Structure 1
């Protein structure tokens, strides 16, 4: 029950953000998808590549 209380308290503190998310038709879904894909590619490469190779891989993944 304590977890639910913390959850409800968080919603209460961020009421303006929750209200805006529920009442506005705009969405960040496409942006979040692109960020998720980029993070996946970075994890997949495990830090083995330089920035130029990561850039090429990202451009070919799109």
Structure 2
């Protein structure tokens, strides 16, 4: 047994809360891959009853944006490319905050 698998097994045996949280997390990953919105609704109910604060809070957040989450699972479109570019730009801006103006930003964004 690999060291990471052994540690995972020991953690699950030592803490029933950890085992329940891992099981919920694995189910959630499967739901994301399958895009099954009915399973998502059941998962949110199970997570809400789990007694694990982080899972209950995450399930409440998903339920607040239920329509957006359902659309993300069922629609073929993604804004991942846009979000990636925005994240990259924000990282550059944060790195340069207070040190330079538009000239350095332009130099960092545009290849030579």
- Normalising by structure 2, what TM-score? 0.48
Aligned partners of 2:96, 2:104: CA distance in 1, in Å?
10
Task: Give the 3-state SS of the residue equivalent to 1:26 in structure 2.
Answer: coil
> Structure 2 matches for 1:22-33, cutoff 5 A?
22-33=73-84
Q: Please give the root-mean-square deviation of Cα atoms over the aligned residues, in Å.
A: 1.8
Tell me whether 1:21 sits opposite 2:78 in the alignment. Answer: no
User: Which digits, 9 at most, give the CA deviation of each residue in 1:15-48, with x for residues without a partner?
Assistant: 1010011111111111111112112222332421
The corresponding residue for 2:55 is 4
Asked which structure has the greater CA Rg, the reply is: 2
Segments of 4+ in structure 1 off by > 6 A? none
Looking at both structures, which has the greater relative contact order when contacts are Cα pairs under 8 Å and sequence separation is at least 6? 1
Question: How many residue pairs end up in the alignment?
Answer: 61
1:59 aligned partner:
110
Unaligned 5+ segments in structure 2 are: 1-51
Tell me what 1:44 maps to.
95
